[in-house]
Structure 1
Amino acid sequence: MVEAGKVLVVKRYLRLGSSAECVMCEYGDAPGPQCGGHQYAVLPGGHVEPGESAAAAAIRELNEETTLTATAARLLWTGTHNGRPAYYFLATDVSGVPRLSGDEAVEHCPTNHFELRWVDAEDLDDIYPADLQSRLTKLVEAGNQPRQAQ
């Protein structure tokens, strides 16, 4: 979701007891045995439930994590996230005020901290997966271009 040249992300700090149980240690090839902690950002999202379309899952997860309602306007990209298929949609007709909710609100604690934040392209350097940084930067920059008369 892009608004006024910013993208809504979930900033996260995660520190688990051991690197063996931490997907971010595995992703970053951290030596362990203890998880040193990780600060990163992700887009709101989650898994597709049986019988659910990827677009419906994206909107459901957005609502579950942020309380926002929206429409999935179009598929932007596909990829993988933690070994699972990932679908990235542009959300439009967004309404509400973003508030941390769902599992993220329940699990929120000093070693598993979540924060919703609107960030601009310069603040996407910690986005996970990392290949989203250039894609999101282009999306934000394209949204900041003046519209041409048709």
Structure 2
Amino acid sequence: MVIPRAAAVVVDGRRALLIKRYLRLGPSRECAMCEAADWGGPECPGHQYAVLPGGHVEDGETAETTALRELTEETTLTARIDRLLWTGKHNGRPASYFLMTEVTGTPRLSGPEAEAHRPNNSFELIWAGPEEFDELGLYPADVRPPLTELLIDLG
């Protein structure tokens, strides 16, 4: 069964809130990023990338509810959804991206990401603009053009 993903797009001028990640699992066969990169080696080489806050749509949830829940779980921020920005794929799963408005709080890493934060599985909240997306490895790559366009339009 394919579990959809929903993500929250939080903007501040020409920057978006991202979760910078470093992930290194033992065997590459257990790593979705190794699979996405078509890595053929037996050991995961480690991956540095960034994603928009988000996660799995749970049973009984809408994508909108998931985006709001994940935003709060991962960053402690609360918000309201302005609109659906675009849809795409994330590791082969359907993904929905929602623009957040009326954002309150100060972003702080929290929830499962804060609990799992270790040298081989690290998380950091950052604000980044379009000029940083390639260097950060914003994932999936197909979110870079619409996010860049959004930030230019809103900035």
Q: Aligned residue pairs: how many?
A: 144
Identity of aligned residues (%): 60
- The structure number with the bigger radius of gyration is 1
Structure 1: which 4+ aligned runs deviate by more than 2 Å? none
CA distance in 1, matches of 2:92, 2:36: 10
Contact 1:56-1:72 within 8 A present in 2 as well: no
After superposition, where does 1:1-150 map in structure 2 within 5 Å? 1-125=10-134, 126-144=137-155
> Unmatched 5+ residue regions in structure 1?
145-150
TM-score (norm 2): 0.90
Aligned CA-pair RMSD: 0.8
Q: Which structure is richer in relative contact order (CA contacts within 8 A, separation 6 or more)?
A: 2
CA distance in 1, matches of 2:138, 2:97: 14
> Unmatched 5+ residue regions in structure 2?
1-9
CA distance in 2, matches of 1:131, 1:79: 8
TM-score (norm 1): 0.93
Deviations 1:57-83 (A, max 9, x none): 101100000000000110001112122
1:56 is displaced (CA, Å) by 1.2
1:18 is displaced (CA, Å) by 1.3
